[in-house]
């Protein structure tokens, strides 16, 4: 069985990860589900994407916090400004506004900065060993060229 992932690059789902499982037909459902669950765990996948309102909160906070011309605002002030600009989606408590921002920003950050955990396979170990040898050879050649350049001057 082979499990992999890729990023979908369509207009409907830009930057969404897709999991692909290739398995022979005799693989049990439990094994198949386990492979899928393990890949989701490695990708730090959430059960569902953030709501549109939550994403708007993140954009709003990031826009105000990353504006070089303004001072850093408290979440109480940010919540007040949000409620002024979005009366139909207001927050009754600044703490709730802050939690929505922090949870959603964390999810969005993971989606775009995903560090997928890769299992240490024999092939991966061979590739790393090859790369280390190449690095050593390059370093040795660079040192030799440098030493020769110093001797000639």
pLDDT by residue, tens only, the chain of 153 residues: 888 877 766 555 555 678 889 999 999 999 999 888 888 877 766 567 778 899 899 999 988 888 777 788 899 999 999 999 999 999 999 999 999 999 888 777 765 555 555 666 777 788 888 889 988 999 899 888 888 888 887
- Give CA torsion, residues 142, 148, 152, 153, to 10 deg: 40
pLDDT at 2: 85
**Total residues found in the chain within this entry:** 153
pLDDT at 82: 96
Rounded distance, CA 16 to CA 36, Å? 16
Beta bridge partners of 5: 19
Cβ–Cβ < 8 Å for 31, 22: no
């Amino acid at each position: 069985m082979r499990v992999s992932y890729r990023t979908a690059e369509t207009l409907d789902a830009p930057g969404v990860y897709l999991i692909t499982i290739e398995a022979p037909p005799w693989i049990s459902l439990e094994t198949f589900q386990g492979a899928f669950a393990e890949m989701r765990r490695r990708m730090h996948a959430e059960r569902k994407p953030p709501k549109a309102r939550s994403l708007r909160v993140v954009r709003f906070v990031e826009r105000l916090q990353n504006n070089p011309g303004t001072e850093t605002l408290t979440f109480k002030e940010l919540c007040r400004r949000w409620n002024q600009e979005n009366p139909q989606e207001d927050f009754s408590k600044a703490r709730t506004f802050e939690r929505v921002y922090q949870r959603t920003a964390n999810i969005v950050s993971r989606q775009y900065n995903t560090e997928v955990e890769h299992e240490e396979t024999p092939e991966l170990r061979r590739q790393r060993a090859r790369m280390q040898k190449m690095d050593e050879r390059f370093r040795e050649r660079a040192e030799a060229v440098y030493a020769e350049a110093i001797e000639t001057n």
